[in-house]
Amino acid sequence: MAIAETIGISMGSAALLLGVVGLALEIQYRRQPGNNLEVTSGEWKLEKPDPNRYLLVGEVEFRNRTRSLEIILPQVEADVTLLSKGSLLGINYRTLVVPLHPDAPAREDGYWFAYIVKAGKKTRAKIIVEIQGAELEQLQTAWIRVNYLTYGPEGRIPKIYHALVPLQYPDTNIEPQWRSTPVAEVLPIKTHLLTHLDEPIEIVKRYVLPYAQKGDIVAIAESPVAIMQNRFIDPATIKPGFVAKRLCYYFMSTSSLATACGMQSLVDIVGPWRVVFAFIIGASAKVIFRRPGVFYELAGEQARLIDDVTGTLPPYDQFIVLGPENPQKVVEEIQRNTGISAAIVDVNDLKAVKILAATADVSQAFLEQALRNNPAGNADEQTPVVLIRPKTQG
């Protein structure tokens, strides 16, 4: 403290000054974007040169979202998990990552050399998956994991981008079967495994319009809508904080908030203070007034809609799936583009029906009656869309 004393500053004042400077530096640090390299995927194409060989080709884009920082991309690799109706014995695959840099050609030996993505700039990579073997027609989905390293102001950080690509589609020659309820005829419609590459409007046009007529209503399950909106999270990317680690212990084991990562996904959406407030008031209401469910009322809609690991069908059982974003806008866009009334619903085998959103011409009471027996199912039926035809129409 000799320097501080020389210029006439007391030890206490110097400590305060250092604390203020340290706080200012910490605040400034938290505002920095760090290794903000956004990854998105474009179109994926599946080629079938012969029955025993598939070729899946797609591209991913790496975009530097910072305004002034360079981020180095020293390594990019791809791995694949295949989902099939049958055994994978005898089926082999290999992956190839080809850089598509705007200012540097790819090496012929396939080596990914460290590449600098300048501020506000981007680069791309082509992902090639070659699959060989017998009975490839049983394959359903390719789960591609793009493993990449970012090297920059935040250090050396490994990250993963997930792309799920359908390899097979339902046989359109098989007629779906209508089922009768007291108020309506309902038609569960099988689709391919819906992914972030799909859009709700296009799914309705492709799978529902061939069977629909005037007065029908299309109901879509909420988790597939969220998946199409890319609202699923790899738990490996979640860092549970103080609040999530402690509060998750107080939820039933069947709740999606009973794990640190599941709870942290809610904290990331609504903030820690709202979660803590909802927990305190909710716990008090449950203990003192015997009124359950107050936590979910106060914590927001997403608290009820989050599906933790195992909550959805494979391979999304490995992810945390959030609730859909702006479901009312989705159903209105479906009706505007297809002419069919629409709803987004959350239904289970316990006869619980929750209507997240519906077009103005749809009666929620009617929907609840029509869907009470959960015609879409909760297993691996892969029928996320249900067409509802009221019995009162002529």
* pLDDT tens digit sequence for 25-43: 444 545 555 789 999 888 8
Model pLDDT, residue 226 = 96
- Cβ atoms of residues 184 and 391 within 8 Å: yes
pTM, 2 dp? 0.86
Give residue-wise pLDDT tens across range 49-101.
Answer: 888 999 999 999 999 999 889 999 999 999 999 999 999 999 999 999 999 99
Model pLDDT, residue 26 = 46
Find the mean pLDDT for residues 225-243: 95
Q: Tell me how far apart the alpha carbons of residues 259 and 250 are, in angstroms, rounded to a whole number.
A: 10
Model pLDDT, residue 391 = 86
Is 70 exceeded by the pLDDT of residue 218?
A: yes
Model pLDDT, residue 349 = 74
Q: Tell me how far apart the alpha carbons of residues 169 and 327 are, in angstroms, rounded to a whole number.
A: 26
Give residue-wise pLDDT tens across range 99-143.
Answer: 999 999 999 988 999 999 999 999 999 999 999 998 899 999 999
Is 50 exceeded by the pLDDT of residue 212?
A: yes
Find the mean pLDDT for residues 153-176: 89
The residue behind tokens 């049983």 is 138
Task: Give 27 or 157, the one with higher predicted confidence.
Answer: 157
Model pLDDT, residue 312 = 87
Model pLDDT, residue 163 = 94
Rg for the chain (alpha carbons), in Å? 26
272: preceding bond cis by omega (within 30 degrees): no
Confidence tier at 7 by pLDDT (50, 70, 90): low
Q: Tell me how far apart the alpha carbons of residues 278 and 117 are, in angstroms, rounded to a whole number.
A: 43
Model pLDDT, residue 6 = 53
- Cβ atoms of residues 55 and 47 within 8 Å: yes
Model pLDDT, residue 394 = 46
Give residue-wise pLDDT tens across range 362-383.
Answer: 999 999 999 988 887 766 678 8
